[in-house]
Chains A and B, each alone.
Chain A
Amino acid sequence: MKIAIASGKGGTGKTTIATSLAHTLAKEEKTNVLFLDCDVEEPNGHLFLRPVLESREEVSVPIPVVNEGKCTYCGRCAEVCQYHAIAVVGKKVLVFREICHGCGSCALNCPVEAIAERPHPIGVIEWGRSGEIAFAHGILNVGEPMASPIIRHLKKRFLKGDFTGVAILDAPPGTSCPVVETLEGTDFALLVTEPTPFGLHDLELAVQVARELSLPIGVVINRDGIGDEGVERFCQENAIPVLMRIPFQREIAEAYATGKTLVEAFPEYRERFKTLFSQIASILQARAEISGERR
């Protein structure tokens, strides 16, 4: 089972929920848990799970290298590149690697085979264990724009077809490519929000993303009590289950500040995370039964 923890708005508590869920399942339920931190721009899961990272692998994207000896400066590469990442200026070919998506189209289209590709590193993935939890995260190099290839690499490496157990994917904030890359192929999107106008606005967007990907969803309301009723009303009107509410308490915020997971700081939450997981499992089971009947 693959559960993605997402939210439109940043700082709503994705990592808090993801780490405590992983912690509870691995320690209490003896489940085989894999924690994947897919927020490769600002990965934080390791700060709470404190894994021993044993291995590391570079992630790169292929970028074009032009053999100026063969090149006829015909400009075909620039014409086919949809991202304007390669340009021919007089007797010079310029490659703008930051905006190159590594699609390989320039090399395929070069009539004189003057374009080769070389890997350009954009970040790393690291993995190891945090006690019973298998842990992996990706880190985008500073100055590199594209997070998606690292997330793709992370998922390919650890979520192979034969994966059993529970994978918890901590998603980046937002609604664009890195979020989609994280959510795609998962079984459930757990959307973490806060009961404020910003939280509501961004939850609505996150719900649309999950629907676009046909994922079943559930909501966690964090810092319950700080704002207004908008999020509750929205969930009710749209029949979105609210699976957990965590009240706003200064002590929770202070424990978070020091890098403790919620269940470490407040062990009474373990039962609630067990319930959260069993609710997700039953939603997925009900869904499987319905699609079974349809067949």
Chain B
Amino acid sequence: MKQIVILSGKGGTGKTSLAAAFAHLASREFPVVLVDADVDAANLELVLSARITERHSFIGGKVAIIDPDKCAACGICETICRFDAVVKPEEPDRCYYSVSPISCEGCAACYYQCPEGAIQMQDREAGEWFVSETPYGPLVHARLHPAQENSGKLVTVVRQKARQLALDEGRELIIIDGPPGIGCPVISAVGGVDIALMVAEPTVAGTHDLERIIQTVEHFRVRGAVIVNKYDLSIKGTQAIEEFCKNHNVPVLGKVPFDPVVTEAMVKGVPVTAFGDSRVVEVISAVWGAVRGML
């Protein structure tokens, strides 16, 4: 079983459109499992006609709760908390402390130090994860509740489920649509994969962010490859990306032209490769051939 992840550093470069196209192309050749690891803002389901078959709650961690009746307002918790999550509400006749659940990181430092035993740690449901049926194979995806943390842990959960599905059903390839950035969810998405495909756009921001994601992928010793999207928006920018990739020994597998057909397919809710013939589809098919060759 092999795993590929699609990353970009910068958001909105076309990761999900490409992941959906690969899902479509790959599934014609062998059984695949699909993963949406952008748990903050998961969009892959929108272009894969996904139908949810399993739903699970995700406990992201804990949150501290102070019992106002037990709180003696000594303020130890406030001194200890490094996340500025403890606040001091004053009521006309008395004062006690409380915790802002948004700032609380669930470290429990206050719980262990409270001399009154007034603090409890409660499980916090930070999101949900799902298994869905799609025409191309099962999709494991998730939805982090707004303003929650631990997206890295949720990525690990969906990847574990995908791996188990692949092993149980003898599926040969896991295609992971990754999150933007280089931080914790990306690190969780990149660990242990066979190939990291990085989608870059030829803009100053796109090039800058590509450099950071290439370094990240190198840092975790994963084999990387680059796809330039909307390459014709700046031929000069595309050349700069190719030059940079050459210096880093990262192959550029293809250059996808800008074409409104990609958005049209998204609006219709299908992978661009299933939407009809276009130059974009030709290039993506060739890129897919190159990826398969690397596996």
Contact = CB atoms under 8 A, between A and B. Distances in A.
A285 interface: no
Interface of B: 8-13, 16, 39-41, 43, 46-47, 61-62, 80, 82-83, 102-103, 105-109, 112-113, 144, 146-152, 179-187, 201-206, 208-209, 212, 215-216, 219-220, 230, 233-234, 237, 258, 260, 263, 266-267, 269
Return the 7 tightest CB-CB contacts between A and B, nearest first. Answer: A10-B11, A11-B12, A103-B107, A174-B40, A145-B184, A41-B181, A259-B204
A126 to B, nearest CB: 14
Given A44-B208, A176-B40, A103 B184 contact: no
Interface stretch (A28-36, A159-167, A197-205): A197-205
Nearest to B101: A212
A10 B185 CA distance: 14
A184 B103 contact: yes
Contact of B179 (A44, A80, A174): A174
Contacts of A174: 40-41, 151, 179-181
B12 A42 contact: no
Contact of B43 (A41, A201, A227, A256): A201
A202 to B, nearest CB: 4
Given A143-B216, A197-B46, A173 B11 contact: yes
B108 A82 contact: yes
Given A143-B220, A174-B40, A184-B103, A108 B184 contact: no
A176 B11 contact: no
Contacts of A228: 267
B267 A8 contact: no
Overall SS of chain B's interface: loop
B234 A254 contact: yes
B80 A41 contact: no
Interface residues of A, number: 59
A78 to B, nearest CB: 13
Nearest to A47: B204
Contact of B180 (A10, A109, A208): A10
Interface string A78-122: 001011000000000000001001111100110000000000000
A257 B108 contact: no
Contacts of A205: 40-41, 146
Given A104-B80, A180-B102, A196-B267, A258 B11 contact: no
B146 A175 contact: yes
B181 to A, nearest CB: 4
B102 A176 contact: no
Nearest to B269: A197
A42 B234 contact: no
B10 A143 contact: no
9 contacts: A10-B12, A82-B61, A140-B183, A176-B144, A176-B149, A178-B183, A197-B267, A212-B102, A257-B202
Name the residue in A44, A177, A250, A259 with the highest tally of chain B Cβ atoms < 10 Å from its Cβ: A177
A146 interface: yes
Contact of B183 (A12, A109, A145): A145
Contact of A104 (B82, B151, B182): B82
B10 A103 contact: no
A133 interface: no
Name the residue in B103, B185, B204 with the highest tally of chain A Cβ atoms < 10 Å from its Cβ: B204
B5 to A, nearest CB: 16
Contacts of A8: 40-41
A227 B263 contact: yes
Given A144-B183, A173-B11, A196-B267, A101 B41 contact: no
A84 to B, nearest CB: 11
Nearest to B45: A201
Contacts of A177: 148-149, 151
Interface string A116-150: 00000000000000000000000010111111000
B204 A258 contact: yes
